Amino acid sequence: MNVLGISGSMQANGNTAYLIKMILEAVTEANAEATCEFVSLGGHHIYPCTGCLQCREKKECTITNDDWGQIAAKMQECDVLVIGTPVYYYDVCGQIKNFIDRTYSLWHDRKLSGKYVVTVAVNGDCGADRALETLEGFANAHEFIYAGSVTGKAFLPGEIKDDAAALEDAAAIGKKIANLG
Ligand SMILES: Cc1cc2nc3c(=O)[nH]c(=O)nc-3n(C[C@H](O)[C@H](O)[C@H](O)COP(=O)(O)O)c2cc1C
């Protein structure tokens, strides 16, 4: 089983990254044969979808001079995607939205269909519900199999370590992923 964790935060070691890494650690602990990889979108260049619609014919994105392609290739290879975002203005952050929008090129032939997905959102106070809905919209459109979600509450970097409920949920969902067929 190949599990890919993607954090959309520009903070490569921020709260979202921490929670996703916790999930991946729990997977590895419960299933020694699982291969887990973590990717932060922080520090990566991901241009927005231009809406050119050329991918409808070409079945690939015409933008090739950024980092989206190499991360999307990893996503196509995984069995389980753990995708997370910090909450910005009651929704996902811009970097993950750019990443998601660019997957339109994979949607036409449903190249992500049948993979499992776990969604993660970290907010300082509120807005995680809507961010999770946005991630679920992406997952539903691509016909992922929804395997659950984790919400964290943290504002400053590292504060997620104080959210005992989120850490517990992360460990539980990691175990669940480890036992997915
Ligand atoms: C531009 C911006 C917008 C934010 N909007 C919200 C918000 O709407 N609701 C909220 O509870 N927290 C909001 N926050 C706080 C972040 O969600 C919080 O700091 C989170 O822990 C950051 O995660 P990260 O460390 O993974 O980047 C915002 C932070 C920034 C920088």
* CB contact set of 15 (below 8 Å; sequence gap of 6+): 9, 86, 122, 152, 154, 157, 158, 159, 160
- Which CATH fold would you assign to the domain 36-159? Rossmann fold (3.40.50)
Cβ-contact 76, 112 below 8 angstroms: yes
Cβ-contact 80, 116 below 8 angstroms: yes
pLDDT at 130 (0 to 100): 98
Query: How far apart are alpha carbons 160 and 76 in whole angstroms?
Result: 29
> How far apart are the CA of 181 and the centre of ligand 1, in A?
35
Phi, psi of 118 (to 5 degrees): -120, 130
Please report, to the nearest 10 degrees, the dihedral formed by the alpha carbons of residues 162, 156, 154, 35 taken in order: -80
Reading the block at residue 30, the tokens are 């419960």
Tell which residue, 165, 140, 138, has the closest CA to residue 150: 165
- Judge if the beta carbon of residue 90 lies within 6 A of ligand 1: yes
pLDDT at 86 (0 to 100): 98
State which of 95, 120, 123, 151 you would mutate to test the pocket of ligand 1, scoring each by most atoms of that ligand within 8 A of its C-beta: 123
- pLDDT tens digits, the chain, 181 residues: what are they? 999 999 999 999 999 999 999 999 999 999 999 999 999 999 999 999 999 999 999 999 999 999 999 999 999 999 999 999 999 999 999 999 999 999 999 999 999 999 999 999 999 999 999 999 999 999 999 999 999 999 999 999 999 999 999 999 999 999 999 999 6
pLDDT at 145 (0 to 100): 98
Ligand 1 atom nearest residue 152's Cα: 21
pLDDT at 108 (0 to 100): 98
